[in-house]
Amino acid sequence: MATYSLFGKPISGPFTIPSGIVMTEVPVLERIANEIPEIGILTTKSIGPEPKEGNREPILAQYTPFSFINAVGLANPGCKEFAERLKKAKIPKDKFLLASIFGSTEQDIKHVAGTLVSLVDGFELNISCPHSKRYGQACGQDPELVEKLTHTAASFGKPVVVKISPNLDMETTIKAALGGGARGFVAINTKGPTEFKVDGHDVLSNKQGGVSGKAILNLGIACVKKIRHLTDKPIIACGGISTAEDIKRYKKAGASFFGIGSALAGMNTSEMKLYFKALKGDFETGSDAAPRHLKETNMKYVKFKIAERRQLADNLILLKLDKNYDIQPGQFIFAWIPGKGEKPFAIFDDEPATLLFKPRGRFTDELAKLNPGDPLYIRGPYGNPLKIRGKALLVVGGTAVAALHLLAKRKPDTCLLVGGEDKKHLSFLKEFPLACKEVSCVSDDGSYGEKGLVTDILERHMLAFKPDICINCGPEQMQQKAIEIEKKHIKPENILSSIEYQTMCGNGICGRCATPAGERSCVDGTFFPLKH
């Protein structure tokens, strides 16, 4: 069995996941560190001196099969907050923790590197992000600045690798980085910036982004070859790798380690484990098992039109679209309005596709303005279907009913408990035929169903219905109270809950929807058993 080390530190495997992909939140990074031994280098998201919100959705689109275009905008919590999160993580000793950092001045890099230096094994200097106005490639095009930033990061005594852009003069950049004390290189960052349109509309909110995945495989290999002609220092190759054959081509070009990013799209945590195990086996033994683990993701937008708009209450809107939508209970979609953004939604009904929502932000405010005949684009579905055996008790609050309405519609052996503000927020339910045995409603003011909270009637229904499984969806406080009641009657593993996490891609790539247990809600959920 092959052994691996980076800058003298023994590591568990030859792979990493490039910065900004999958491991963008510390719980996911920690879980992968402890469960996927083939990943020996843990590369963090790019961290800057101050919190940065990044770009609004859409931040990612499917450029071609197994290729993406993204403009995340270097979103990060800032080095101080990130350090606090990193302190809580338990990282195995056989991992090289590589903190990706960025800044536009020497003072920026001094601040970021100084804040993180005691927690990491080395730094990746990001001077290559192609869609940031002040950082990344904007800095990388100035060789004098590259040398200064590299020198500043290296002054803390930890190895510095510089992430190279394929869009700049590589020889000039590499010589400047070496002059600043670079100990290695990461090649390559995304190609760009470029545009991606659907029906003539820019998809990315930033309009331009960087291309990753299979579309840049040959470019990445060519760039690694150029770097190897200039230096004998370690090279972490990334750009389009998905199979052992890709790795061998990069190794022949001069790469030392290998980053796999876009190939992970659509994989849940368990599937990633199997994929990396197979990929390492293929690389070391010549087998070809990894390709069967690759998944074709669907980010294609389908155009709908608003067929009916109903203002159910001051803060509740129902939109019926002009076509049906093929989706399973537990899954969700993204709704996109060109130029206005996109957000994830549960499909309240599938015949026709129907959205139920409260305007509570910039995008939902725009969604609320749509009228019959206006276009709306949908992509998906995402998330794992709910596969329920036995009698299910569904406990929902507010507009979360949209997430479980399809299950109540299709599965006769269910009981649906719904809580809402008043009659306007609940009475529309009787218009939609459901297969479930019972629908019980409660309202805050008693104007529809019983007065009170959904948890007030839960105990009674647990005793009468005797469910095999309980599924909760709604405000977190409501779910916590429901769980305490349910645990008295059924096993914890038979209690499923869905907490709303920030979801921006739907295929696991952005990693934003991290749970405290280090799973990604969009591919590992969205409903989790209580043990999580």
List, in sequence order, every residue forming a beta bridge with 416; answer none if it has no partner: 394, 439
Catalytic residue status for 415 = no
CB atoms within 10 A of CB 474: 25
What residue type is assigned to position 384 of the chain?
Answer: N
Q: Which residue has the tokens 């608003």?
A: 306
Distance CA 99, CA 97 (A): 6
User: How far are the Cα atoms of 404, 422, 427 from residue 452, in angstroms, in the given order?
Assistant: 21, 10, 16
Q: Which residue has the tokens 């990069």?
A: 250
Catalytic one of 79, 129, 238, 436 = 129
Distance CA 347, CA 381 (A): 9
8 Å CB contact between 150 and 124:
no
Q: What is the DSSP string of 36-83?
A: -TTEEEEEPPPB-SS-B--PPSP-EEEEETTEEEE-----B--HHHHH
Q: What is the DSSP string of 256-315?
A: SEEE--GGGTT--HHHHHHHHHHHHHHHHH----GGGG--------EEEEEEEEEEEETT
Max distance between CA atoms of the chain, in angstroms, equals: 76
8 Å CB contact between 187 and 168:
no
List, in sequence order, every residue forming a beta bridge with 319; answer none if it has no partner: 309, 355
C-alpha closest to that of 522 among 531, 532, 530, 504: 504
Supply the residues annotated as catalytic: 129
